[in-house]
Amino acid sequence: MHLYALRSALIGIASVLLETLSSCISEVDTKPPISVQQPIATWNIPDKLSFCGESVPMHVQEVRERVEREFYLNLQSPGQILLYIKRSGRYFPMYERLLKEANAPDDLKYLSVAESALYMARSPKDAVGLWQFIPATAKAMGLVVSDDVDERRHPERSTRAAIKYLRSGYESNGSWTNAAAGYNMGHENYADNKRFQNTSNFYDLFLNEETSRYIIRIAVIKHIMENATLYGLAVPPNEQYAAEKTRSVVVEGSIDNVAAWATSKGTSYKDVKLLNPWILKRSLPAPPAGRSWTVEIPVK
């Protein structure tokens, strides 16, 4: 009798275990497969590309080949694209606001991505900042560039200067594509090429390799960032880098000791330097005549 009861109990336990196992297997089988990024070789270049509302002539074979080059080279570096998208959360809202204020195309924000990868970079040619100004052009656009202060590293002021420089290229060379090409090689140099080759169409010009690639690279970067999900590169908004909340402190004179000044404002030297990368040293000289400094400090 006891053996029969034991046998019945064991059968019951086995039945429960089988039912549980079956339920687990069913649950696993009904889940979607893990997404794996499609091999680059299987992607085709987009049928249409544009920059600032101006179409890239994809029907021209030579242009199409240049598009393919930029398309596959960019997709070959998915980590870099992910960083573009993450960093865009920090800078694009400010770019979009200033471009709208200036009545300039929103697409110009992608020029900064191509220039600096949205990073405070320095090139071998001493181009610096998010918009990669060389010293002479920066000064011509009203930025302070000295041993103590480099406003090429000031996110908002350098963006305003870039928009100003692009606007001058648009007015002198007739289109935003031409303005962006002139941003890369100099507006006067670009205008000289237009005159010599007797055409104002960027895609009909024979230019140096860097500038020939420049517009197409920007258009491709724009396409990939705007269609990141298609390429398995989407970054949720909450994973993008956000601009830190700050308050502005207007400084009319000099600051002899930035660390002591930061402490007096309830913050730290590190915070001041990170939020104001244009301050190059441990002190801040008096601003130029008619100007003041605006120093950002974190809102605690």
26: pLDDT strictly greater than 50: no
What is the C-alpha to C-alpha distance for residues 130 and 85, in angstroms, rounded to an integer? 15
Q: How confident is the model at residue 206 (pLDDT cuts 50, 70, 90)?
A: very high
Q: How confident is the model at residue 20 (pLDDT cuts 50, 70, 90)?
A: very low
pLDDT tens per residue, range 151-167: 999 999 999 999 999 99
pLDDT recorded at residue 42: 75
pLDDT top residue among 42 and 150: 150
How many Cβ atoms are within 10 Å of 106's Cβ, its own excluded? 14
Spell out the residues 6+ positions from residue 249 whose beta carbon is closer than 8 angstroms to its own.
Answer: 265, 294, 295, 296, 297
DSSP 6-21: HHHHHHHHHHHHHHHH
Mean pLDDT score across all residues of the chain: 89
What is the C-alpha to C-alpha distance for residues 99 and 187, in angstroms, rounded to an integer? 20
pLDDT recorded at residue 48: 96
What is the C-alpha to C-alpha distance for residues 102 and 167, in angstroms, rounded to an integer? 9
What is the C-alpha to C-alpha distance for residues 157 and 154, in angstroms, rounded to an integer? 6
179: pLDDT strictly greater than 60: yes
214: pLDDT strictly greater than 70: yes
CA distances from 288 to 142, 156, 251, 291, 295 (A): 11, 18, 12, 5, 15
**What percent of the chain has a predicted confidence (pLDDT) above 90?**
83
14: pLDDT strictly greater than 80: no
pTM: 0.85
pLDDT top residue among 2 and 76: 76
| Residues 192-207, mean pLDDT to the nearest whole number | 97
pLDDT tens per residue, range 228-272: 999 999 899 999 999 999 999 999 999 999 999 999 999 999 999
| Residues 195-216, mean pLDDT to the nearest whole number | 97
**What percent of the chain has a predicted confidence (pLDDT) above 70?**
87
| Residues 200-211, mean pLDDT to the nearest whole number | 97
pLDDT recorded at residue 37: 56
pLDDT tens per residue, range 119-149: 999 999 999 999 999 999 999 999 999 999 9
220: pLDDT strictly greater than 60: yes
11: pLDDT strictly greater than 60: no
Q: Provide φ and ψ at 255, rounded to 5°.
A: -125, 115
pLDDT recorded at residue 300: 79
